[in-house]
Structure 1
Amino acid sequence: MTILLWLLILFAIHAVALAKQRQFNITHGSSLTPITNSSWFSPSRNFAFGFYEQTNGYAVGISIVGMPNKTAVWTANRNSPVVPSNAVLLLTSDGRLIVHVGSQEISVINPSRAIASASMLDKGNFVLYDSDRNVIWQSFDNPTNTLLPGQHISAGQELFSSASEADDSFGIFRLEMQHDGNLVQYPVDTADSAPYAYYATGTYRAGNNVTLNLDDDGLLYLHNSTNRLRNLTRGGYSRERTIIYMLKIDADGILRVYSHSLNQQNSSMIWSSTDDRCIPKGLCGLNGFCTNTDDQARCLCLPGFDFVMPENWSVGCERNFTAETCRLRENTSKYYDMRTVENTVWEDSTYVVLGRTTKEDCEQACLQDSNCEAALFKDTECRKQRLPLRYGRRDLGNSNLALVKVGVNFIPNEGLPNQTVEETKGKKQRIDILIAGITLTVFALLVLGISGFLIHRRKFY
């Protein structure tokens, strides 16, 4: 019996040693390529670190393996271009993790000390170690757009959306765990202030030690140093090892918790921060507005505008007519008309407010003001705006009208019916050229005539 017990103990020690050996299997000289041997796997082979396919190339990151398409949960160098199929990922002999593309060398991760080894762990955490096996960097401390079970976001950390489902470079939305304890979503490149927020937990008095956490059962919650502050999901979902939960800020700006089933090789959403796909501010870019159609977001341009890039709504809209320079004109109504967009809300960038007015008076006030490019009218209040308008979305419960100044196609004055502004300008330029040509010709003939007269006169004297 004693011998059997010792054998069991020795077997357990050997198993632990093997597990540790498997954990530290990425050593100096280890390399990957996108086409063959593309990943370093976790012991369970549920997660992999290495190359994964993106639009027109490959990115380096961490993926969930047991899915039809690799589902990325972390991406390196998100603003760097994708790499081609001849790239090589290498842990060098001097302790650097780099990608070789021909003669070009791209750094993947820059820890404070030389890398002695690395591991892809079963939790989805990629870890770098020094020669004493101290952790010098880990992906769980440097999230990109995803939170995994056991991982948390501390005060001051952010998640950034991807540009699209097929492109994991930086997108246009962010989620921030603020130092005041509030978890808030904003568009990128905006201040951390209420006018730009489109989702918040309202925990702004909780202090600077609040973290966002995700558990193995799908429970997403806020926690401070002593207790749980708020549950964002109900949790209690299956804890089977073949199911992986993840929180992601998607390309459309909405937070979602997903359940990935490795057995069935499918995914399902179990929670989202909103059901209104038009809530994220800036989804449609400048001078565009969002409308829900069959539970899908659709972007439209203001009257007189077209998409800059029809395949990428977030780039926004630009004028489809040439704006006249009218700063010195007293009345622009003969060059412009006002078009109406109903039931829309926008960021308020008002420079003049007119009270106790009508829609018609609001339109005239904008037409007669060379600085006014649009106006927002609600009830009896007219708010003059300069372009661009942003953060637009349709809200059928809001009676606000967006009144937009648009160039007219025809100018019914100055005896020139059915001529466009550009045609009028072009004709005027041609007339000016013709007059100048005739003047020069007459002047040349006059000089020639005088010269001939003088020569002829000298012959007789």
Structure 2
Amino acid sequence: MQDDGNLVQYPVDAPGAIPYSYWSSSTDGKGDNVSLNLDNDGHLYMLNSTGFNIKDLTTGGYDDTNRTVYLMKIDSDGILRLYSYRLDQNGNRSVIWSSTSDKCAPKGLCGLNGYCVDVDREANCICLPGFAPVIEGNFTAGCERNFSSDSCKNDDGKIQYTIQAAENTVWEDTRYSEVTSTTREECETACYEDCNCEAAMFNDGKCTKQRLPLRYGRRDLSNSNIALIKVGIYSSINEQRKHADEPKDGNGKVHTDILIIGLSLVGFAIMVLVISGALILRSRVFRYKRFSTDNNIRLCENVAPISFSFAEIKAMTDNFQEEIGKGAFGTVFKGMVMLNGSTKVVAVKRLDNISDQGEREFQNEIRIIGRTHHRNLVRLLGYCHDGANRLLIYEYMINGSLFDVLFTPERRPCWIDRVEIARDVARGLLYLHEECETQIIHCDIKSQNILMDENGQAKISDFGLAKLLKPDQTKTFTGIRGTRGYVAPEWHRKLPVTVKADVYSFGIVLLEIICCRRSVNWSLKEEEVVLEEWVYDCYQAGEVGKIVGEDDEVDIKQLERMVIVGLWCILDEPTCALP
């Protein structure tokens, strides 16, 4: 906390100057003696010396009973986070707020001579060309040269230098010289000819020379800066000197007997290595065959979905005795399977009357769910592709679907639990839309396709109608999909479909979660039949409290925010604003 009232994060041992900060509260000039405060309801905010609230970092309004504990800390990755811990759910933790979502933002995360690369929203450290980690597996220790740097002169033939590039990387500016340069080649030459230059930065025709170590590095694809690193390689002169040191007789010729003995020893060593390698390979092949023929050993369920035979599926489900659900493309049965030495309850989905569309359904389930891993997505444990039989094995969700939970009066969740359910669904969709290697449009988000586990956590299921998008693709044309009442307007207008089709469906589901009623209910009054129209009318009239009922203890401000989000999701015209 600085004297000017600004809360700032700097890397260790960095001067307190603006270029070195990687996050700030932007509250400078708002008063003196500023403090950071955390209330029991998760409200994180800043006060000045007069007690005036100068900034809200979170709006609060979360559970403030003794069931939830809030913890704010700087994690080991340098990011400031606010966590909530649900004590009634075995300490289930969730992040309410963080200073940044960019895990490469904290400067110095990768140590000296290393730079941070964002890979699927995870920070990954890479050493400069010609460098290796000081401590393998611990990138905060930085990187060091993997070659000798005794001299930059080539006279003695020990070392030659070449220039290698780390493109689109940014570093701390510690230049000792700036060169008038218009091309990258000229910048490389300027550094190569300067013994003091160990790295050069080339950006938009400007060239600056720097010494090692480099720090605060990260890859930024929007930045055209190129780090040109001087890397040493051994010259062929060493080979010449090595031969010059060989033993010679008085006439200057190499002793023939020494040469013959040396070659014999080398040949014998090669023969021993070949025989040893053959024996080791034979032993490993034998062990692999023995492993493959053991029917009780399978790949770990955490690695990939397991392939089952149809006979195994029949035994697993006791010949499909217990039906637990039915959908458009198949029936779901309850089963038991042995995985990793323990018995696990599973849900087995059997695709009926396989047509071309049903086959595509099956292929999509395998291809998509098999490579997705998120706590708010139902996990695919295995599959069967045996003749005409197509089956999928999922983890079993003991509490059924969100549809059952919301619309069964005795199972209706309290307001706090409904808020958590909405967050779970949103997290799952965010993963599908933005964090997967291949962007996925679910195409059928509805309360029936959201399942509840034993802890009341919501998980998105049924990827059969999903549409994959290529990394450089943002929209797609396809036939109408999904379920009536949850389908976005662009489906009916034959417009290209984007991830916003799922956003529309999420808006409908969010309103169902808030109100604990179906999107269309013909048993109600005419003005209340269509849920989104009724909620919109209540919002305009300033009567949002009507939509949750009198029995619910609801934070009205939180309710209003959730209603606004739901209505934003389902607006026909994105340019329209709520009053």
TM-score normalised per structure 2: 0.41
Give percent identity, aligned residues only.
53
The equivalent position to 1:361 in structure 2, one of 186, 190, 194, is: 186
Supply the distance in 2 between the matched residues of 1:289 and 1:209 (Cα, whole angstroms): 36
Supply the distance in 2 between the matched residues of 1:180 and 1:427 (Cα, whole angstroms): 69
Supply the distance in 2 between the matched residues of 1:346 and 1:191 (Cα, whole angstroms): 15
The CA deviation at 1:424 is 6.1
Residue identity opposite 2:98 in structure 1: S
Determine if contact 1:330/1:368 at 8 Å carries over to the other structure: no
Structure 1 residues 425, 371: closer, same or farther in 2, change over 3 A? farther
Aligned residue in 1 for 2:104: 278
The CA deviation at 1:296 is 0.6
Supply the distance in 2 between the matched residues of 1:260 and 1:387 (Cα, whole angstroms): 44
Residue identity opposite 2:194 in structure 1: D
Aligned residue in 2 for 1:19: none
Residue identity opposite 1:293 in structure 2: V
The equivalent position to 1:224 in structure 2, one of 31, 43, 48, is: 48
Q: Deviations over 1:337-389 (max 9, x none)?
A: 00011111000011111234200010011000000001010110111110001
Structure 1 residues 290, 332: closer, same or farther in 2, change over 3 A? farther
Residue identity opposite 1:201 in structure 2: S
The equivalent position to 2:23 in structure 1, one of 196, 199, 205, is: 199
Q: Deviations over 1:201-255 (max 9, x none)?
A: 1222134310011111111111012200101112111112110011110000001
Q: Does residue 181 in structure 1 map to residue 12 in structure 2?
A: no
The equivalent position to 2:124 in structure 1, one of 287, 298, 301, is: 298
Matches within 5 A, 1:61-76: none
Residue identity opposite 1:274 in structure 2: T
Structure 1: segments with no counterpart, 5+ residues: 1-176, 439-461
Supply the distance in 2 between the matched residues of 1:191 and 1:246 (Cα, whole angstroms): 29
Aligned residue in 1 for 2:163: 338
Supply the distance in 2 between the matched residues of 1:425 and 1:230 (Cα, whole angstroms): 70
The CA deviation at 1:194 is 1.5
Residue identity opposite 1:187 in structure 2: P
Aligned residue in 2 for 1:136: none
Aligned residue in 2 for 1:391: 216
Aligned residue in 2 for 1:380: 205
Determine if contact 2:181/2:187 at 8 Å carries over to the other structure: no
- Larger relative contact order (C-alpha < 8 A, sep ≥ 6)? 1
Supply the distance in 2 between the matched residues of 1:288 and 1:332 (Cα, whole angstroms): 29
Q: Which has a greater percent of helix?
A: 2
Q: Deviations over 1:386-433 (max 9, x none)?
A: 00010000001111101000012444xxxx4xx5xxx567667x58x9
Residue identity opposite 1:192 in structure 2: G
Matches within 5 A, 1:1-150: none
State the SS of the aligned residue for 2:196: coil
Aligned residue in 2 for 1:256: 81
Aligned residue in 2 for 1:9: none
The equivalent position to 2:14 in structure 1, one of 169, 190, 197, is: 190
Residue identity opposite 1:311 in structure 2: G
Aligned residue in 2 for 1:318: 144
Determine if contact 2:81/2:97 at 8 Å carries over to the other structure: yes
Aligned residue in 1 for 2:233: 408
Q: Does residue 209 in structure 1 map to residue 33 in structure 2?
A: yes
Q: Work out the number of aligned pairs and report it.
A: 248
Supply the distance in 2 between the matched residues of 1:377 and 1:344 (Cα, whole angstroms): 11
Q: Deviations over 1:290-340 (max 9, x none)?
A: 0011111000000000001122110000000111313x6799998100001
Supply the distance in 2 between the matched residues of 1:346 and 1:204 (Cα, whole angstroms): 26
Structure 1 residues 239, 404: closer, same or farther in 2, change over 3 A? same
Determine if contact 1:219/1:233 at 8 Å carries over to the other structure: yes
The equivalent position to 2:65 in structure 1, one of 237, 240, 244, is: 240
Determine if contact 1:290/1:394 at 8 Å carries over to the other structure: yes
Supply the distance in 2 between the matched residues of 1:182 and 1:360 (Cα, whole angstroms): 43
Aligned residue in 2 for 1:444: none
Determine if contact 1:248/1:256 at 8 Å carries over to the other structure: yes
Determine if contact 1:245/1:257 at 8 Å carries over to the other structure: yes
Structure 1 residues 240, 287: closer, same or farther in 2, change over 3 A? same
Structure 1 residues 207, 396: closer, same or farther in 2, change over 3 A? same
The CA deviation at 1:285 is 0.2
Supply the distance in 2 between the matched residues of 1:392 and 1:332 (Cα, whole angstroms): 33
Aligned residue in 2 for 1:268: 94
Residue identity opposite 1:350 in structure 2: R
Q: Does residue 309 in structure 1 map to residue 135 in structure 2?
A: yes
Structure 2: segments with no counterpart, 5+ residues: 253-579
Structure 1 residues 347, 197: closer, same or farther in 2, change over 3 A? same
Determine if contact 1:332/1:368 at 8 Å carries over to the other structure: no
Supply the distance in 1 between the matched residues of 2:217 and 2:204 (Cα, whole angstroms): 19
Determine if contact 2:151/2:159 at 8 Å carries over to the other structure: no
Q: Deviations over 1:35-71 (max 9, x none)?
A: xxxxxxxxxxxxxxxxxxxxxxxxxxxxxxxxxxxxx
Q: Deviations over 1:176-206 (max 9, x none)?
A: x112211010111222222221111122213
Determine if contact 2:198/2:229 at 8 Å carries over to the other structure: yes
Residue identity opposite 1:224 in structure 2: N
RMSD over aligned CA atoms reads 2.6
Determine if contact 1:199/1:273 at 8 Å carries over to the other structure: yes
Determine if contact 1:289/1:299 at 8 Å carries over to the other structure: yes
Residue identity opposite 1:278 in structure 2: C
Supply the distance in 1 between the matched residues of 2:156 and 2:87 (Cα, whole angstroms): 67
State the SS of the aligned residue for 1:383: strand
The CA deviation at 1:434 is 9.6
Q: Which has a greater percent of strand?
A: 1
Supply the distance in 1 between the matched residues of 2:198 and 2:208 (Cα, whole angstroms): 11
Q: Deviations over 1:134-170 (max 9, x none)?
A: xxxxxxxxxxxxxxxxxxxxxxxxxxxxxxxxxxxxx
